[in-house]
Every structure is written in structure tokens, then in C-alpha cells.
Structure 1
């Protein structure tokens, strides 16, 4: 539950400062950050998993890759794995994640990871987090991005990471 989420406050390099922040208590202090991690799951078919945010969340019904804030004591990698499992029921190993890149946002360090999986694993969504999820090709992600149906923070993220994401997705598909 969001009220129970405690984050490590970090510096711009992602190093914890020793300060903690509770989600819902407003933004982290100026010049500080918290880590947000996302995973683009790449199926052996070449398609990727996108999820649509639940109605009760910020950016309701917008599309994204499964994502969320790393909790106190969690690395970006561990946070990404936990969020993927919680939101869409897909479990992966830490060493299977490959970092696409980091975007420095106003109060967050956003890390995008990829993970390649066999087939297109069945998805079990957490209805509090995700309305639906589906496997699509990267061209469809680009179409949805252009149509403005991804959550708005993804605009800047894609602007910085799209070329690297394309390379990472096509690397093993």
C-alpha cells in the first residue's frame, strides 16, 4: 500500500543520503531524488509487455512498462524485479536484467531495464495497480507513444532512451 512505502532519498548519483521519505508526504527535498525502476519485458517472439495503469492511480488508464519506486534498502534492480512481480506476476532473476539507461527527472532517478524471457508468459495483473497488460511489438509502443496514451512522464523518458531501448529489445529477439 502506498502509505507504507518508505524510500531512500538519494543524491544525483543514486547514492542513499541516509534520509528516508514516506510516499504521500509530498516530494523529496530539492536537489534530492528517489529511484524509480521500470522493466521492458521482451518475449522471445520479439514482442514487449505494456501495462495500463489502474483507474485509481496517477495517470489513470495510461500505458507504461511495469514500474515503481524502489523501497528503503532496495537497489534499482531489486525494485524493478519486485514491481514486475507485483504488477503483472512475472518473476525474473536479478542477473537477467540489463540496464537500458537512467533519466534524471526533477525528483526521481528513473532507470529503465530490459529482460528477455521465453515465450510470452501469462500475465496476472494486480487490479489495484494495473487495469490490463498486453504483448505488443515495439512499433505499437511507438504508435501509442505518438498518440499520447502513455503516462506523460514517459515522454521525456522515451525522448532520452528510445534508441537504446530499440537496440536492447532487438538484441536477442
Structure 2
């Protein structure tokens, strides 16, 4: 099987611009009429030391070798929270609960409804294991360096824009004196 062959069969619930399910399945990579969206989550994870997690994308993925925060599409039948918990576990091996996820932004970009979460976690009893074919490296960035880091050329541009547009809310969580 070719790289990411499995991902092309992922199914999503089609939703309207308000997030209401349309009872139509979307298949990753296929084109749909305007007004059909799928939900994508992004998670900014901060550990007990005040460090923010970033991961580097696999070189064969779109934006290969760029840094990002944890994220991915919500699969058919999942709630937004279930998908966020699953993505975090799949991509990083970090286990979290619903009450640790705080919605900080909600934006439309192309055919995606992006839900951005802030997530604070105690990692002392957890080990990061990266998902094969998704990410190849990770770093914990000091919260005071996070904005500088996401402004690098090798950080996914649209994710950077969403984070910066939500900074007024995020700053309450990622306060740096």
C-alpha cells in the first residue's frame, strides 16, 4: 500500500456552515458542492511546565516537514470532543478528558470548519509516541517562545493565522509576563 493509502478512505459527516449534519458522507480528497463542510480540530497542548507541544509533519504529507499543533478531521459518527480526544491519542499518545479541552476558536477555511482547542495536561505519567506516517518529530516550546515559533517560515501558515486571530482568548491560557 502506498503512503497514506489508508487515509483516502476516511469518511466524514458532511455539515453545513453552522455545523449541522447533512446526512451525507464525505470521502477524504473528493470534491463536494459549495456549502458542504467537514469538521477539523486543532489542539494547542500545554504541559505542567508551561511548554506548548508542536510536531513536525511527515515529509510525504501536504506541508511536509512543517511544524504544527495536533489536529485532524472528525470521522463519521464522532462528536467534536470524541474526535479531539482520538486525534490527540493517535498523534501523540497523550490521553485527555473532555473537561481538559477548552474551545478557543471556530473558523471556516475552504471546506473545513476548524475548531481550535486549548488543552493543559500533566505529562509526568505519559509518554509521547508519534504516529507513523503523520509526524516525525516533536518539541515542547516554552510558552514565552510560542508566538515566535509559530511565526517561523516552517510553521503551517493557515494554522498560524487561526492561532494569532484567537490570541486575545489564548493569551489568558498562555500568559507570558
TM over 0.5: same fold? yes
Root-mean-square deviation (Å): 1.7
State the match for 2:138 in structure 1: 133
Question: What SS is found at the alignment partner of 2:17?
Answer: coil
SS at match of 2:151: helix
2:114 aligns to what SS in structure 1? Answer: strand
Q: 3-state DSSP class of the match of 2:22?
A: strand
Choose the corresponding residue for 1:108, options 84, 108, 112. 112
Aligned to 1:22: 27
Matched positions, count: 170
> Match for residue 53 of structure 1?
57
For 1:109-139, what per-residue CA distance to the aligned partner results, in whole angstroms no more than 9, with x for missing partners?
1111122111454211012100111111233
Question: In structure 1, how many angstroms separate the alpha carbons of the residues matched to 2:26 and 2:40?
Answer: 14
Q: What is the match of residue 168 of structure 1?
A: 173
Choose 161-170 or 6-15, whichever is displaced more: 161-170
Distance in 2 (alpha carbons) for counterparts of 1:79 and 1:43:
21
Tell me the distance in 2 between the aligned counterparts of 1:52 and 1:146.
Answer: 15
C-alpha displacement at 1:58, in angstroms? 0.8
Residue 118 in structure 1 maps to residue 122 in structure 2? yes
5+ unaligned residues in a row in structure 2: which ranges?
A: 1-5
Deviation at residue 80 of structure 1 after TM alignment: 1.1
Residue deviations 1:11-62 (CA, integer Å, cap 9, x gap): 1111111111000223x42122110001111111111111111111111011
Q: Tell which deviates more after alignment, 85-94 or 112-121.
A: 112-121
Superposition deviation, residue 74 in structure 1: 1.2
TM-score by length of 2: 0.88
Matched, 1:159 2:164: yes
Q: 1:94 aligns with which of 66, 75, 98?
A: 98
Q: Which runs of 5+ in 1 are unaligned?
A: none
Maintained 8 Å contact 2:151/2:160: no
User: Any runs of at least 4 consecutive aligned residues in structure 1 with deviations exceeding 3 A, and if so which?
Assistant: none
Compute the TM-score of the two structures, normalised by the length of structure 1: 0.90
User: Are the counterparts in 1 of residues 40 and 112 from structure 2 also a CA contact under 8 Å?
Assistant: yes
Residue 78 of structure 2 corresponds to 74
Give the distance between the partners of 2:83 and 2:175, measured in 1 at CA: 24
